[in-house]
Structures are given as structure tokens and as C-alpha cells.
Amino acid sequence: MKSFNFLLPNRSDKPRNNGLTMALDKGLGYETGKSLMEIAGDYVDLLKFGWGTIVVHDRDIVMKKIKMYKSFDIIPYPGGTLFEIAYSQNKVSNYFKEAASMGFETIEISDGSTDMKTEEKLDFIATAKDKGFNVISEVGKKDPEKDSKISIDERVESIKDEIKAGSSKVIIEAREGGKNIGIFDKSGNAKDEEVNYLLKNLPNEKIIWEAPNKDQQIYFVLKVGSEVNLGNISSNDITSLETIRRGLRGDTLGKI
């Protein structure tokens, strides 16, 4: 039982299909990660090992962390950049084998840093699903100039195509900083008209909005509701986000 349990607003329990929190592991030690999950694991649904961080860490420790996250009913998976590194080295087949052998059941397929053709990306999504992986894909470019050239209609069509190809969820790129990328302007403010358009034309339960900053998390909770899917949440902000979702912080108190 939680302390002051009589003041705790209800929220759906895990496993959830909506209201997902995707948190980042950017190199947490095993004991640090375990301690964090002991106090906040109820509020994490997906745990992304950021970009290529696990390549520089001991394989046995990474596998131990994968098993630990799973013990808290959390889905761990490697970030899309690692897949793109494998793609750029023509080692995707090896990547799939290694991911499976390490215990990953979910992988991310993205093209944010590479010039992958649309057909290639869709084929990789379908292939990964055929191999038994749960696939999360990501739409958007990590370079602001390249990303700005993607129209809102192109984003919608890409997301629809990737869902059709087999993605269970599609992430809308915002990077770790959440500024000047995708739906966020240079100051990190959401472009409301674009968000409205995406909400109108896409299945909300299939979308994970990257929202690394507190103001962005508040924006989406107030706009979409406490059961919005949010990603790129810092490990330090897991509890903070849950209080935002439940109206336990001044920003959302009485507004949910």
C-alpha cells in the first residue's frame, strides 16, 4: 500500500496499453537501476537503453539489467540508434540475433540518423516482427534541418505505414532535449496545430510522444489526458511524471 493511499487517484495498472511511460537508461548501474525500480517501477512501462550506450558496457551486466527490468514488468529494449549503426555497417541480421540472445523481446527501428529508404525501413519492421520481436518504430530526423523538411502529412503517412507494417507503437521524434525537432519549436514549446492534426488523424493509443521536459509532459497530460503515452523520460523524472499524470502536482492539480 502506498503512503496516504486515500489521496492517490486511480490509474490503470500494468500491463497498460495507454498511459505508457517510456524511460531512458543512459548508463545506470545495476544496483542504481534496481533501487530506482523498487520505488518507481510501477510507473515505468518501457525502458529504453539510450542510443548506443550498451555497446560500451559489459554484456553480462547489460543482460542482468534486462532480466531485472523484466522482473518489474517493464519492457526493456535497445534504442533505435543502435539499430541504425547495425544498418550502416550492413549487420542487421547479426543485430537481430544478438538482441534475441541477450533477452530483448522488443526492439526499436528508426531512421533518424541515416538515409534509409522508406521501403527498407518497412521491410525491417516486418522482418523483425516475423522474427518474434515486438517492434516500436520512430518517425523523424535527429538533424533539425532535415526534420523540418518532413511535412505533417508525411509524418502521418509514415506512422500509418509503419503501424501497417507491424509496429505496435510509433514514437514521434523529439530527441533527449525536446527542442527544434518534430512537434516542438526552438524553445521546446509544442506546435499546437500540428499536435491537433496528428491527434485527429492517428490512433492515439499507437503513438508515443517524446516529451523529455516537464512543461511538455504537462502539456500532453492536460491536452490528451493522464493516459497519454510519453517517452524519453529521464530516470530522474519518473516519479515527477507520475504525479503530473495523477494531479498530485500544482501544474495539474484539479485539472485532470
Beta bridge partners of 172: 139, 209
Sheet containing strand 167-172, edge to edge, reads 75-78, 46-49, 21-25, 230-233, 207-210, 167-172, 134-139, 106-109
Averaged confidence pLDDT in the chain? 96
Section 234-251 average pLDDT: 97
pLDDT of residue 1: 87
Phi–psi pair at 25, nearest 5 degrees? -110, 110
pLDDT of residue 246: 97
Least confident of 49-58, 128-137, 175-184: 175-184
Reduce the DSSP state of residue 76 to 3 states and report it.
strand
pLDDT of residue 152: 96
Q: How far apart are CA 204 and CA 163, in angstroms?
A: 12
Section 72-76 average pLDDT: 98
pLDDT of residue 199: 97
* Upper half-sphere CA count for residue 39 (Cβ side, 13 Å): 12
Binned at pLDDT 50, 70 and 90, residue 5 comes out as very high
Binned at pLDDT 50, 70 and 90, residue 239 comes out as very high
What percentage of residues in the chain have a pLDDT greater than 90? 96
113 burial type by CB count under 10 A (0-12 exposed, 13-18 middle, 19+ buried): middle
pLDDT of residue 230: 98
Per-residue pLDDT of 144-188, as tens digits, reads: 999 999 999 999 999 999 999 999 999 999 987 888 999 999 999
pLDDT of residue 256: 87
Task: Spell 221-245 as b/e; 16+ CB within 10 A means b.
Answer: beebebbbbbbbbebebbebbbebb
pLDDT of residue 177: 84
pLDDT of residue 104: 98
Q: How far apart are CA 256 and CA 254, in angstroms?
A: 6
Closest among 251, 218, 248, 222 to 233, alpha carbons compared = 218
Per-residue pLDDT of 94-128, as tens digits, reads: 999 999 999 999 999 999 999 999 999 999 999 99
Residue 229 pLDDT exceeds 90: yes
Q: How far apart are CA 43 and CA 40, in angstroms?
A: 6
29 burial type by CB count under 10 A (0-12 exposed, 13-18 middle, 19+ buried): exposed
pLDDT of residue 62: 98
